[in-house]
Structure 1
Amino acid sequence: MTTPVRISDNSSNKKELFSDIKNLTKKIANKTLEQLERESVFVFPKIIDETSDLTKEQMILQEVNGSYRTGNVMGFIGYGSERLILNSRFCINDNDYFLQYLLDKVVDIPNIVDMNTDANQEHRIFDLVIFLFPHYLKQAMRKGLFKKYIQNKYNNENVKGLIDIPRHIKNNTPFIGKIAYTQREFSFDNALTELVRHTIEFIKRKPFGNTLLNKVKDEVKLIIEATTDFEPYDRQKIIDLNIKKKVRHAYFKEYLSLQKLCILILQNQKYQIGTGFNEIYGILFDGAWLWEEYINTLVSDYFYHPTNKTGGGAQWLFSGPLGRLGLIYPDFIGKDELNRIIADAKYKPMDNIGNRDYLQVLSYMFRFDSKTGYYFYPEAEQSGDLVLYLNRGNSYENNLQGRDDIKLIKHGFKIPQTSSSYDEFSKEMNLQEKLFTQSLIALVV
């Protein structure tokens, strides 16, 4: 199997680096995440039209001036035996504690294991994928157990469907009073719930399996009770049925995400050993979304947090004869009406926060009568706040000067870079969170 190529998010990489994964690179270069998601790549969280930081137009590898530029995406992606590992730029000696920590805080992944330092990064990411299963199972089953029409075969005297003549001749000759027939019926025991059941049984065999599934014990119980026809040796047949027939009804979109995750979990071993698969596969994590939701866990006492992925807390720029227009989702809106602060979580280096970012936050500040805007971004070294004062005047009249009442501030959050274990990394992050919160209190109180 080809040695995986490793790169980091928000980086520029020479084309020569990808010489050993030419087929994979050709498949993914300059393709949008929306296109890749349609080609069986699992994207967390699912892309929707209103997403701001991770748009459906974003690319994993974008060709720029003879190099490939990466964005805010982490994870792994493969084609056949070729692999590309996308680490966070805060990865320590191939241990991406930062990604694990964000998932732990945002998705409530239990702190069961310190990521195995003997395993390669692809295997460690796969462990994180398994930890996502309770989250997706719970989301899907809020819609109730999935049911669909299936063809059941019967052989009795109470004919209620289409007579199956070949099967009737085979089973009921000489005639003994029974009729072989098929009937189309709604059933909770179908290919999708069987797929979920196989995933549950797979996770049970992991050392941390029962602890993980205990988070969704009620949902697991319902699935087990519904899948009365479950047989362990049917796993590949069930996987093939689900690959062939994806969930299509919009009402059950959460089940489509669960279905894709289950397929990824159950087929991962084959992907890892490289058995000649002729389609793209893998999982990609939206670093921008994870960072924004992580920051929300720290600032929720002081800021409102509109969420574009769920539509919660939607705001509008305009009101008029046509109603409300200009839908916007600022990351954070300060709760203090007399000292309103607008803040934006940016998962990018400080120097990459530029013109479009300035225009976005300034428009939000104008909309909410705010004189102070903040960017919360992760950094490897503590660089201190960078304060930008809005100009007044213009160059034509030679009266350009900074004003002291309206400002944008880039406020970094230091990410530990010397941790020797995930436990140590977590403790150091807890310390940085306290420092961040203390500076925030001084800002808003």
Structure 2
Amino acid sequence: MDVVVFRLSDFSGYSNNNNGEIRKENDKTVVEDKYFYNLEDAEERKLFELLVESVKQFNKNRALALEIPIDENEEPADTNSNEMYQLQEEIHEFPTPSQEMSDPEVLVSKIIDLNLKTGQVYTKNYTCLITCIVEPSPQSAEYIRGRKFDVTLEIRSRFDRAGRNYFLEYILSNSLTPKFFEYFSTPWGTSEIWEWLIVYLFKYYLEKAYRKGVFKKYVEYRYNDPMYKGSADIVEHIKRNIPFTGSIAYKKIELSHDNEITRLILATYDFLKMRYPNAARTILNPKIKAFRAISAIKELVSLNSTRPETIRRVIANASEKISHPYYKEYEDVRRVCLNILRTRGIRIQSEHRADFFALLINISKLWEIFLGSVFVRNFHGEIICESQKEINVFFRDRSLRFLPDFYLEYRGRRVVVDAKYKNNWSKFLDTMDFNLIKNDYLQLVNYIYVTKASAGLIIFPGFTTAVGNYCLNEDVASFKFDNLEPFLYVFKVSIPINEEKRDEWARIFEKNLNNMLISVKNLLTS
């Protein structure tokens, strides 16, 4: 089976000057940062067809994809009563297919878009790891038809490099949960960070569900003894007790902790320990609530879960959705456990591959949550920080709902903060092309107006480069629009890109982050 690995970066596309490379690594083909495929070239067309088939598999199996939870307090908008006021955020940092191409044929997905006519590739606001076995359809090109391909699609942060995930590790470790940084105490390879995140996902949902205690449900038990209770099982009684032996076969429904869901949790835990021993030992350690949940279940349930036939039976028995409202959190646990067991917890280098596995991170949302945690930790209550505070504006027979990312307040002076991860703002500071940020600008102006703020701030990550006349220093760039009075400020948090050692990278990044915080504090308190 041919092995092909695609490695891309988020918010990137065919407009990049560097069109990547195709190379051989041992027994696999690696396609690195390639956003345009020459469909006239046989080799490039073959690779593009494989990428297309992989994205089609993702769309088909999207329900099986696991997504790292970023903000558990986020609730969906009530579309029946209120209208969410939110200007459409541009997905791409360059012209969209409909803007630039006549009669485009675009394969659209949550993570990536592909133009089938031109071979152009657009990544979005997700980092991900997707692995799948591609068996091209009879309609596929002749040179891939009838063959199997082992395909991996990795989309990393544009601030990370192959084999170095310093940016993603850092903002994950400071966003998901307190002390999560301990899990990232040593540099990992590309595959390892995804393995640890699979274990973290299991831990997160199990702890959330265990707040309700160990899951229990009514289970039907069958007995054959003289202590008759429940309802008679006539068929079984005739089979086993004729001639009469003194026992009666009967069925009884009891509320029990020993059920298909608790068995599924144990099977998943044992599997993770076997497949990812280092991650399981560190993340599922005896000091955390998830370990206590596992221990409580083990006292109530006995299961030999390492045998393949046992796992298959557990998966089959747990296929029914949990409908009881009290245990609704256990539905997330059930879904995650099933996905982990069905896909066998894919490892990039593993010889035992399932047909499909996907793990996603919304990195735009992660950047927003990261900034919120940074504000709270560093302002120590001196400056009030509120995030995602809903503001309703009533207009005739309806209401408009506004959700600014943050607002900061100091002695009555308030500013609205909008966290942006896409790199339109970096390009704007370089080119002064207002069309790049027009929607963001109008959105923030509305936030300033409805919150009665004195100013608005845009904070975004960017590479450590000079930005013309708008650099305050080498670490943080800011820009101020001059209208009747200054009211909109732009801060760039510079991301180091050339540091090989993780500790040095973190030191420089924290210095740049601190410079941004000082500038924001001075703006509020001056």
**5 Å matches for 1:92-131?**
92-108=161-177, 109-112=180-183, 114=185, 117=188, 119=189, 121-131=190-200
In structure 1, give the amino acid aligned to 2:320: K
Answer yes or no: is the 8 Å Cα contact 1:58–1:71 preserved in 2.
Answer: no
**Structure 2: segments with no counterpart, 5+ residues:** 14-34, 39-43, 78-83, 92-107, 134-149, 429-435, 472-476
Which of 118, 125, 130 does residue 77 from structure 1 map onto? Answer: 130
**5 Å matches for 1:112-151?**
112=183, 114=185, 117=188, 119=189, 121-151=190-220
Task: Please identify, of 166-175 and 15-24, the stretch whose mean Cα deviation from structure 2 is larger.
Answer: 15-24
Match of 2:312 in 1: 236
Match of 1:397 in 2: none
The answer to whether 1:291 aligns with 2:367 is yes
- TM-fit CA distance, 1:294: 0.5
Task: Please identify, of 265-274 and 127-136, the stretch whose mean Cα deviation from structure 2 is larger.
Answer: 265-274
Match of 2:479 in 1: 387
The answer to whether 1:403 aligns with 2:403 is no
SS of the equivalent of 1:14 reads coil
Which of 309, 333, 336 does residue 410 from structure 2 map onto? Answer: 336
| 2: CA distance, partners of 1:123 / 1:355 | 39
- TM-fit CA distance, 1:276: 7.3
Match of 2:246 in 1: 177
Match of 1:393 in 2: none
Answer yes or no: is the 8 Å Cα contact 2:52–2:114 preserved in 1.
Answer: no
Match of 2:493 in 1: 413
* Closer, same or farther: CA 55–160 of 1 in aligned 2, 3 Å: farther
SS of the equivalent of 1:194 reads helix
* Closer, same or farther: CA 265–428 of 1 in aligned 2, 3 Å: farther
Q: Deviations over 1:129-179 (max 9, x none)?
A: 213332222212223332233332222233344444454344434432222
Answer yes or no: is the 8 Å Cα contact 2:64–2:357 preserved in 1.
Answer: yes
Answer yes or no: is the 8 Å Cα contact 1:378–1:413 preserved in 2.
Answer: yes
* Closer, same or farther: CA 55–354 of 1 in aligned 2, 3 Å: closer
Q: Deviations over 1:277-306 (max 9, x none)?
A: 55x431100101111111011112335333
| 2: CA distance, partners of 1:346 / 1:406 | 20
| 2: CA distance, partners of 1:200 / 1:29 | 31
- TM-fit CA distance, 1:27: 5.7
Answer yes or no: is the 8 Å Cα contact 2:170–2:181 preserved in 1.
Answer: no
Task: Please identify, of 91-100 and 45-54, the stretch whose mean Cα deviation from structure 2 is larger.
Answer: 45-54
Match of 1:399 in 2: none
Match of 1:28 in 2: 55
**TM-score of the pair, normalised by structure 2:** 0.70
In structure 2, give the amino acid aligned to 1:142: R
- TM-fit CA distance, 1:370: 2.0
Answer yes or no: is the 8 Å Cα contact 1:31–1:60 preserved in 2.
Answer: no
**5 Å matches for 1:50-61?**
50=77, 59-61=110-112
Aligned length: 419
Which of 382, 388, 391 does residue 315 from structure 1 map onto? Answer: 391
Task: Please identify, of 170-179 and 124-133, the stretch whose mean Cα deviation from structure 2 is larger.
Answer: 170-179
| 2: CA distance, partners of 1:198 / 1:253 | 20
* Closer, same or farther: CA 292–374 of 1 in aligned 2, 3 Å: same
- TM-fit CA distance, 1:439: 2.2
| 2: CA distance, partners of 1:15 / 1:254 | 44
Answer yes or no: is the 8 Å Cα contact 2:386–2:408 preserved in 1.
Answer: no
| 1: CA distance, partners of 2:313 / 2:460 | 46
| 2: CA distance, partners of 1:428 / 1:266 | 40
Answer yes or no: is the 8 Å Cα contact 1:28–1:36 preserved in 2.
Answer: no
- TM-fit CA distance, 1:346: 0.9
| 2: CA distance, partners of 1:23 / 1:101 | 32
* Closer, same or farther: CA 110–387 of 1 in aligned 2, 3 Å: closer
Match of 1:392 in 2: none
Match of 2:4 in 1: 3
The share of aligned pairs that are identical, in percent, is 24
Match of 1:62 in 2: 113
* Closer, same or farther: CA 266–54 of 1 in aligned 2, 3 Å: farther
Match of 1:41 in 2: 65
Q: Deviations over 1:372-397 (max 9, x none)?
A: 111111112254335352xxxxxxxx
Answer yes or no: is the 8 Å Cα contact 2:344–2:354 preserved in 1.
Answer: no
- TM-fit CA distance, 1:98: 1.6
| 2: CA distance, partners of 1:31 / 1:6 | 16
In structure 1, give the amino acid aligned to 2:392: W
**Structure 1: segments with no counterpart, 5+ residues:** 308-312, 390-401
